[in-house]
Structure 1
Amino acid sequence: MRKAVDYRPRKAFDLVSEALLDTRVVVVNGARQVGKSTLAERVIREHPNGIAKFLDHPLTRSSAEDDPIRFIDHDGLMLIDEVQRVPDLWLAIKHLVDRDPRPGRFLLTGSARLLSLSSLPDSLPGRSETIELWPLSQGEIDGEPDGFIDAAFTHGADIRAEPRDLRRKDYLERVIRGGFPEAVTRETSRRRQRFFQSYVDDLVSRDVKQVADIQKAADMRRLISLLAAQNGGLLNVSRIAGELGVSRPTVQRYVEILETVYLLRLVPAWSANTTTRAVATPKVTFVDTGLAAHLAGPLTDVSIGGLMENFVLGEITRQLSWSDAYARIHHYRDRDQHEVDGVIEDNAGRIIGIEVKAAETVRSHDFKGLRLLRDRLGSRFLAGFVLYCGSQSLPFGDDLACLPISALWTTPRP
């Protein structure tokens, strides 16, 4: 087993452990360097007959390629790390679990969205569960409950956050640090920058080539830089294609690849019958704000706004992976330029609206988009929050309130 350094407990640990009780194959997907292997090894330690195999070792990988069936022959739980490196293992696993449907047979990890990879010969419908592991949340870093989503769907706008001694500069420090465990443990900005640069280099030279045949790595690097400049804004494929001198389909394909390897997360647009003027373009966010800040270069008021929004939407995305509320996050913008940064909708159609302000004060005007949604949606609108860099929690009319951004991770689950 590999030794974990400065391990922080992950919320996903319980999700994986629970899934193994009734599911044959559990897949932990996520970006490289988010702690998938460390998490999986800690799960394996709870299984006395569990074994781990790491496909980044050339000899282990060669064995798996030579005889996949024999490679997976084991009576207990088997961890296979970086399973996308040997696609033929997928069929071998399917063959085995079809004939022996006991739960808890395989724990697989991958640094790409495995079911999106064309190299995989088949999926495992009804046999597997996928759990996404994101960079560390602020609650995981600070040992806080990370309960905002469940509290909002339970209590609506009546949440009140405990004051924290955090101001705009403190939030910016968290944004620039990001959530990669390796970056969090590095004590200086200079050392983090070296980590981020190496990360991008490895991503383009290794991960991207694993999932697609990219002929011009320089175009991919330029695309990543352009997307960092658009962080928090709508994806403008035509403009990017013009700046790169490539076709729109090429840009769209490259963006899909960057989503597959967990560099980007496009936030889909939200619309409903009552908001027919909604714009359908997705919003650009990065999986890690520290990496996004590194790529964006010197901070400006515009880039800080986009990074802070990315930070908040990222924390919400992490919470949605373990919250009791089954919900998804979108953004809303219409042709009249009304917008809401985050629209969280649960399976019952209830809506929580989120607006992000990279400032220490809030004005009534900041609730304009949230009021629009509230008035159009009626009873479906549960609550709207402006999350900002100040410290007070205050009501702003029916179903509306402002909260400090720290409420995302300090609010207890109900």
Structure 2
Amino acid sequence: MITRLVLDELVELLSEFPALAIVGPRQVGKTTLVKLLQKHIDAEIIYIDLENPRHEIKLSDPVLFFENNEDKCIVLDEIQRRKDLFPILRAMIDQNRKPARFILLGSASPELIRDSSESLAGRIFYKELRPFHLLELPKGSDEKLLLRGGFPNSFLAKSDKMSELWREGFIQTYVEKDLPLLGLPVSPSESRKLLRMLAHLHGQVLNYTTLSKSLGVSSPTVKKYIQFLEHAFLIELLEPYSGNSAKRIVKSPKIYLRDTGILNYLLGISNYNDLLSNPNAGNLWEGFVLQQIKTILPYNATICFYRTNHGAELDIIVTFPNQKKIGVEIKLSASPSLSRGNYEAMKDLGITHLYVIIPTEDTYLLKENVQVMGLMHFIKNIKQMVT
């Protein structure tokens, strides 16, 4: 069983908070993670799957059930299906605020976050579970992770073909069942069309007007769809730099599909050679690196990109709590070169260290204060880069 990076943090949170919510897309490993947590909890665990009628009937009188199991840790899976439980959970927690009373698991939805934050404020901590990360996997897993993505069933499939079939089924279930249940007001065929369009925009600055014309809907409607998919953890928006700058900077976000396996399926990429020869390979690698970095950043670090109307740009700028900034440029090449715009961006922002991330394990200085390195070396040493 693969040990997740968030495990130790979750154990610490459970020692403090009465309720812990682990959210993320379906099949990302939330239930398996709870099994790993079980040995760290000094109480019997009762697991309730709110999609299972045999389980849900136990909550026909939730107050009675919770009171009779006050000394246990109750896991409520797919909690977004029973938003009516949140006021009851609040009352139960206020009667007894001992840590680790409830673990809530939810396929992400804006309604889940909003309702529970209103009724369980100060009683709950949210933690997102992302797909597999390189630091969780055996050495040499980078190509496999880039192709198959980090959903456990996809990554651990017996073959690339079985992995691809799993992703096909995942997308079909998501667009036909899960997204409508979560509240996306779009037909399954339109959802699939939207996801395919976004796959081809992966790594690009988002233009709502162009996208709305292609879909035949208004720009505000497209923004609503994008926001929904972002809250559902299917896509991610990387915001532009918003600090002080004398230059005219791009103000629209860049868009990425979170999981490269899902992205590859939508782009028709079936093997690693197809991936490398695809016109979107550079942007695909960029999105992969972005997710690997975001997963391990401290919660109070910020991440953005920088681009001006005159061509100055950097793929990623990370600002740490001590206000130190580092720049990251992502290149799908073993012998990368930087543009004049990259150096202009460093000057604009006062960045003294730029890291160029490549898909090999080489590490060397390209120029003073510009270091080329492999992704694994970067994510293992990022904390030391800001001291």
If the length of structure 2 is used for normalisation, what is the TM-score?
A: 0.89
For 2:100, the equivalent position in structure 1 comes to 104
- Structure 2 contact 109–182 (Cα < 8 Å) conserved: no
* Residue 122 (str. 1) matches residue 118 (str. 2): yes
- Structure 2 contact 180–186 (Cα < 8 Å) conserved: no
Question: Which of 110, 114, 132 in structure 2 is aligned with 1:136?
Answer: 132
For 2:29, the equivalent position in structure 1 comes to 35
Question: Which of 316, 340, 346 in structure 2 is aligned with 1:374?
Answer: 346
For 2:173, the equivalent position in structure 1 comes to 202
Which structure would you say has the larger RCO, counting Cα contacts within 8 Å and 6 or more residues apart?
A: 1
For 1:332, the equivalent position in structure 2 comes to 306
1:340 deviates by 1.2
Runs of 5+ unmatched residues, structure 1: 1-6, 144-165
How many corresponding residue pairs?
375
1:12-411 pair list within 5 angstroms: 12-51=6-45, 52-64=47-59, 66-73=60-67, 74-113=70-109, 122-142=118-138, 172-274=143-245, 276-298=247-269, 299=275, 300-320=277-297, 323=298, 326-363=300-337, 365-366=338-339, 368-378=340-350, 381=351, 383-411=353-381
Runs of 5+ unmatched residues, structure 2: 270-274
For 1:152, the equivalent position in structure 2 comes to none
C-alpha separation between the residues in 1 aligned to 2:18 and 2:245? 42
One-letter code aligned to 1:54: D
User: CA 1:302/1:215 → structure 2, altered by over 3 Å: closer, same or farther?
Assistant: closer
User: What secondary structure does 1:354 align onto?
Assistant: strand
String of CA shifts for 1:38-91, please: whole Å, max 9, x gaps. 111221232242322222212222443x32323333223222222112111111
C-alpha separation between the residues in 2 aligned to 1:120 and 1:412? 34
- Structure 2 contact 110–232 (Cα < 8 Å) conserved: no
String of CA shifts for 1:242-300, please: whole Å, max 9, x gaps. 11111212211111221122111111122211255221211111221111111112445
User: What secondary structure does 1:335 align onto?
Assistant: coil
One-letter code aligned to 2:370: L
If the length of structure 1 is used for normalisation, what is the TM-score?
A: 0.84
C-alpha separation between the residues in 1 aligned to 2:144 and 2:7? 27
String of CA shifts for 1:127-170, please: whole Å, max 9, x gaps. 21111110000110126xxxxxxxxxxxxxxxxxxxxxx7xxx8
Sequence identity of aligned pairs in percent? 27
1:215 deviates by 4.4
CA RMSD of aligned residues (A): 2.3
Name which of structure 1's ranges 309-318 and 238-247 shifts more when overlaid on structure 2.
238-247
C-alpha separation between the residues in 2 aligned to 1:32 and 1:384? 36
- Structure 1 contact 223–240 (Cα < 8 Å) conserved: no
